Structure 1
């Protein structure tokens, strides 16, 4: 083998390797492609007119530049444009500094960072080409095909199509305006995720608020709020986790759900709830509670499951309640297995062993319906096994039973009671409301009784009533009770029972809302602006020579 040839080959291979390494090293340095004029200056080269430079996959354009060759960096002036050859990213500004070693571009004044359909506008942007991350510090605006987002600070992670906005964040699209202080926006699926307080107002005036953040799909128009409230002119929906689909006008809530119908002044609570806005139909279950607001009073009702329908037709406006029914009002209380509340006539129907208490009276039947007028109990109908018990001034139990009953009330007290079919009555005869004389027990197909303070004042009977009077001396337990008598006062629910079932926290009307805060940004005037204002006011301070501090010892 020719030793000279071998030596030459090794030398050529080493030369190629060294040259390759040198070229690779040069590829990480800033290169000057062209300029109208090149001037030398102390420590840097000055490029003037139509400057073009290159760094790896980026082309750099500007009006003029200072190139610090030894430091591998440049200052760029006037119509700065940095364009990536491989990625669709272009950045423009009035001034920039570019470091070839760190691959960081610091762009200032009228900065526009563009990535396909997404553009970022600011006056202060640092762009790291190594990590493909752009950061702005003093107000920025991001615009894409759907949304406009602004904030004081932000980070754009291009590789992940992710932008994190911080401080005074505002998202605007054709349908909604959102305000928060922390938002993560993904530019490809166009989703926005917030943390902390979030407030939204729709173009229709709907208010959507969240205390603990939200998730918003801007294209699908779907929202998910945490500790959230959605409020319209007709309704208000709140839950710890609240989902809203705008296209379907559908709400779904979990944990501490509450749905308010403003027109009916009925608010429904539960563990889980669904609400279809167009149908005005809601389903709530899990320790459900209803509050019906009257002008001077409130009706409370508990149930396992609640269904509310409030359609356009009056006959189709109702509330259904199933299992564990308990209701209470200032002068009214009741229990049942199930219930129907018709909004159109303010009637409440109770089924399966219902019992109702009104001041000194208790009524029960297989089923019953009662009506509320002027916020008070107006009348009640009892069907099958109807039984009424009234306590008089001496705490005696006056009793009536029959197939059907109709009771009429005045100022919350029973005034008249009509029994139709198999009527029986047992009432105490009193002397001056202070002394019991005995018991009147009457059987009649039809009975009509008139009361005052729970005591019978007048009795009308049908054809051939069968009556018996027992003096007080001969009254015993059997004589003083009609068959089926059951005084169930211990089952009467009150507010304590209701609150043990569910005690809702009231909504704070003064809760912080970012839309209530004025959009005011105070900027300090520049020195030139201060001098201009002084000149306009007619006062200009006399220029003085700067006096330096005296040297020690003088």
Structure 2
């Protein structure tokens, strides 16, 4: 029973008490007050230095009609509504209802609240709830920020504007265009609730949700968000950007696109520096070098894009590197691509596959032109291996090798120093034996993935073993066949492999 009585009190007594607190409009001053039922039904006409007060709000005007019966008034000329110490509302015409505390101000309307000034031609202001609404276009000045929109609400207590319809915000640094925007006049933070465009310091940002602190130049964007600066575009589920420092951070489904280099970086965490053009991406990191003919896909734990000392682009991939293109695949621990010489460098157990050939060495350089590899340089006793069958392997080894490519096909190999070969020559498509050659320098010619000729550049030592007299030693020292680690599709590059483990090494 006590609880029921409490509910009755809340729903009936409290509203009744609030109604008792509502006061009638008071006439504070007028030079002349007239009453004539022929002027207006039940109206009092006030002229000269007219002042009203209602619930601690003072209203000024040149003249007015006051209607005591319904507690309302119509005011004309030099309208001024003063609420508290800070809010002032001006206009040329006022229609005010004391029951609803709604002030309808028209023509040359100006609202001033501390450092904020709003101008419009039509405003409805709820004095009781301290909420203003304009609906035929308005302009706001708040510090260095200038805003305008077709419609807007102003919540005086919270110092917040809510804009709708072709919202523009400009200052010395930024231009913002939005469909729906909320703006705090104290913190000067803009909140976005629809398609929004921000142009700032040479960068362009787009989002459909987020916020931007115009005072500190800090922002968070989401929902189809991206940042474009120069030739690069950064996108992700969520973007954070410090415009003053030119720093950007992206989370989930991150993509950095360079339209000049035709490179795309993907991952789930990204970091970007505008001035130095530094990009960092990790968590399922993927680099795509795209072209009309084919694209190269490279995965690593971490991928970094930056500039070298000459201002040229440089890409660095760290740990568990694997890449795939239809005509070229590879694995290594780390890789670096330099725009300066269009060279991809592979470090720590690098392995390449081109057609039927496997290329290995302690260090490999791939020289590119127009997105196509034309030369591979292999250092520190590299090997090139191709498989005839599960027991027969063509092998070339040396101190240093250069592989030459035409249309991404290996057609020539130059061996410099300590050259050795083991290969199975053919006659009319049939293997006739095993050719073992030792020669310091040699040039190997390849056609249709087969060795067709060997030019010995220094005095060779060569032996051809018939098939029925093959030696037990059929593998060069250091032979390792990495066939099981070769990526056969784009998706294989995300499967981790340890090239140090389970090596098929034969001596």
2:407 paired with 1:411: yes
C-alpha contact 1:29 1:100 (8 A) present in aligned 2: yes
C-alpha contact 1:34 1:53 (8 A) present in aligned 2: no
| Residues 30 and 395 of structure 1: CA distance in aligned 2, closer, same or farther (over 3 Å) | farther
C-alpha contact 1:280 1:311 (8 A) present in aligned 2: no
CA-CA distance at 1:49 after TM superposition: 3.7
Give 1 or 2 for the bigger CA radius of gyration.
Answer: 1
Q: Which of 420, 424, 427 matches 1:428?
A: 424
Q: Which runs of 5+ in 2 are unaligned?
A: 1-19, 496-507
Count of aligned positions: 473
Q: Which of 186, 191, 201 matches 1:188?
A: 186
Q: Which of 459, 469, 491 matches 2:454?
A: 459
CA-CA distance at 1:92 after TM superposition: 1.4
C-alpha contact 2:30 2:48 (8 A) present in aligned 1: no
User: What's the counterpart of residue 485 of structure 2?
Assistant: 491
User: What's the counterpart of residue 444 of structure 2?
Assistant: 449
2:231 paired with 1:234: yes
User: What's the counterpart of residue 309 of structure 1?
Assistant: 306
Cα distance in 1 between the residues matched to 2:434 and 2:409: 23
Cα distance in 2 between the residues matched to 1:312 and 1:215: 36
**Greater shift in the superposed pair: 423-432 or 39-48:** 39-48
Cα distance in 2 between the residues matched to 1:189 and 1:453: 70
2:334 paired with 1:338: yes
Cα distance in 2 between the residues matched to 1:474 and 1:33: 126
Cα deviation per residue 1:145-185 (whole Å; 9 max; x = unaligned)? 22222233322111111112223322222322222232221
User: What's the counterpart of residue 531 of structure 1?
Assistant: none
Cα deviation per residue 1:361-382 (whole Å; 9 max; x = unaligned)? 1101122111112332211111
Cα distance in 2 between the residues matched to 1:343 and 1:397: 36
Cα deviation per residue 1:131-157 (whole Å; 9 max; x = unaligned)? 222223343332222222223332211
User: What's the counterpart of residue 44 of structure 2?
Assistant: 45
Give the SS at the match of 2:491.
Answer: helix
Trace 1:361-380 onto structure 2 (pairs within 5 A).
361-380=357-376
C-alpha contact 2:442 2:458 (8 A) present in aligned 1: no
User: What's the counterpart of residue 469 of structure 1?
Assistant: 464
Q: Which runs of 5+ in 1 are unaligned?
A: 1-23, 502-554
Give the SS at the match of 2:432.
Answer: strand
User: What's the counterpart of residue 155 of structure 1?
Assistant: 153
Cα distance in 1 between the residues matched to 2:104 and 2:370: 72
2:66 paired with 1:64: no
Cα distance in 2 between the residues matched to 1:219 and 1:47: 47
| Residues 27 and 376 of structure 1: CA distance in aligned 2, closer, same or farther (over 3 Å) | closer
Give the SS at the match of 1:252.
Answer: strand
Cα distance in 1 between the residues matched to 2:175 and 2:221: 15
| Residues 56 and 410 of structure 1: CA distance in aligned 2, closer, same or farther (over 3 Å) | closer
TM-score norm. by structure 2 comes to 0.86
Cα distance in 1 between the residues matched to 2:358 and 2:375: 14
User: What's the counterpart of residue 100 of structure 1?
Assistant: 98
CA-CA distance at 1:311 after TM superposition: 4.6
TM-score norm. by structure 1 comes to 0.79
Cα distance in 2 between the residues matched to 1:395 and 1:378: 31
Q: Which of 260, 264, 268 matches 1:263?
A: 260
User: What's the counterpart of residue 10 of structure 2?
Assistant: none
CA-CA distance at 1:45 after TM superposition: 0.8
Give the SS at the match of 1:482.
Answer: coil
Trace 1:464-543 onto structure 2 (pairs within 5 A).
464-475=459-470, 478=472, 480-497=474-491
**Greater shift in the superposed pair: 438-447 or 359-368:** 438-447
CA-CA distance at 1:460 after TM superposition: 3.0
Structure 1 or 2: more helix by fraction:
1
**Greater shift in the superposed pair: 440-449 or 216-225:** 440-449
